[in-house]
Amino acid sequence: MKLTRTLLGLASLVLATALPSPFSHTTTTTSSSSSSFPSTSGLEFTIDGTTGYFAGTNSYWIGFLTDNADVDKVMSDLKSSGLKILRVWGFNDVTTQPSDGTVWFQLHENGKSTINTGADGLERLDYVVSSAEQHDIKLIINFVNYWTDYGGMSAYVSAYGGSTENDFYNTTSIQTAYQTYIEAVVSRYKNSSAVFAWELANEPRCPGCDTSVVYDWVEKTSKYIKGLDAEHLVCIGDEGFGLDIDSDGSFQYLYDEGTNFTANLGIETIDFATFHLYPDSWGTTDAWGNGWITSHGAACAAVGKPCLLEEYGVPSNHCSVESPWQQTALNTTGVTGDLFWQYGDTLSTGESPDDGNTVYYGTSDYTCLVTDHVAAIDKKNAE
């Protein structure tokens, strides 16, 4: 999701006191045999020995928290709710170094990138991974944003040269820096049982580009990741744009944003598909979402890899709008999980960021979209 109203909320979170990480680079792993890592089985996921459908959510901010107890609270609440997959931002790119106490992961300046592995850097992500391990939560960790929130592709472009974000995908110096960052993150957590999947980017688009630009980048990057870590799943993080099945001619089904959903899913080193759903910002009706879900399920079934409805949200009426989508996803062959956008909880600093789409732990919306949904999933997985 493109964030617009969440940044102020986060400012208070990053001011909290940093605690020392129990978790340094050399002690990152709770070793676990590769056979126990999450995998795909036909059109479904297998996690910790269970094959079927899984629910989860998104927290872009959890890696930027500075109080370990807050991270643990989120993980504990997710676990007790039966949410299994958590998607987090594995990037936090800046173009000028922030003052101490503000979390950032990578600085891009004057044709050079510097990775912050310190206490206000990747050690914050280390704690998320270690807490996820302890709570049996599986993480999707992504490496860059298409949007400018937390830096994004434009942070690379501004440091290395180029005229638009589109230059991110095929400028050699930028791709070298991006791969160096990927290697830093993957090598830190590659043995971790908490990794569900590595994800190339959040919502990559290349408006007006031939779809070969993104296709080539997906192919090259996913191959590179498999070379670093052959055991974990790899996905793209795209919104699912560009597919012919059941197209109603709306822009999401077209190729103008530079992605071909079906072609990209066919790449050997991509294990499953991702797609998002935001009728409010996309100018569609809420009910349109059901067709968006079934068309992706059909596309995934045709390619023979599972689909994850990785983000979905609306600014109001969360339960009545999103519950039908969840039911559609759960009964669509080819769709094997959904992650609502976004998770909310009460932290030591107050409520976590609210962009209108937030579903807070313990509310009636939460009962509807998490408790009831997880019960329906458990029932189906047991069939």
Ligand X SMILES: *[C@@H]1O[C@H](CO)[C@@H](O)[C@H](O)[C@H]1NC(C)=O
Residue 312 dihedral angles phi and psi, to the nearest 5°: -155, 145
Interface residues toward ligand X, by CB under 6 A:
28-29, 166, 170, 191, 206, 209, 211, 213, 255, 260, 262-263, 266, 290, 324, 327-328, 331
Closest to ligand X by CB, 141 vs 206, is 206
Element housing 47 (H / E): strand 44-47
Joined tokens for residue 246 = 């059941």
CB within 8 A of 307, min separation 6: which ones?
Answer: 272, 273, 274, 275, 296, 297, 299, 300, 334, 335, 336
As measured in angstroms, the least distance from the Cβ of 47 to ligand X is: 20
Cα 182 to Cα 236: distance, rounded to the nearest angstrom? 14
Q: At what angle do helices 288-303 and 318-330 cross, to 10 degrees?
A: 20
- Least Å from the CB of residue 263 to ligand X: 3
Closest C-alpha to 198, from 151, 175, 231 = 231
Rounded to 10 degrees, what is the CA torsion of 175, 225, 133, 335? 100
Q: Name which of 269 and 290 has its Cβ closer to ligand X.
A: 290
Distance in angstroms (rounded) separating the CA atoms of residues 157 and 173: 10
**Cβ atoms of residues 307 and 273 within 8 Å:** yes
d(CA 115, CA 267): 29
We find the least distance from the C-beta atom of residue 162 to ligand X, in angstroms, to be: 9
Q: Tell how far CA 220 is from the center of its chain.
A: 20
Q: How far apart are the first and last CA of the chain?
A: 34
Could you tell me the smallest distance in angstroms from the CB atom of residue 217 to ligand X? Answer: 9
Please, which residues have CB within 8 angstroms of residue 380's CB and are 6 or more apart in sequence?
52, 53, 330
Q: State the minimum distance, in angstroms, from the CB of residue 260 to ligand X.
A: 4
Integer Cα distance of 298 and 301 in angstroms: 5
**Measured from the CB of residue 258, what is the shortest distance to ligand X in angstroms?**
8
Cβ(328)–Cβ(293) under 8 Å?
yes
| Active-site option among 199, 203, 239, 257 | 203
Q: What is the full DSSP assignment across 322-356?
A: HHHHHHHHHTSTTEEEEEES-EE-EETTEEPP--S
Q: How many CB atoms lie within 10 A of CB 220?
A: 15
- In the residue annotation, 203 being an active-site residue is answered as yes
CB of 72 to ligand X, least distance (A): 23
Report the largest interatomic distance among the alpha carbons of the chain, rounded to a whole angstrom: 57
Q: Which residues belong to the active site?
A: 203, 311
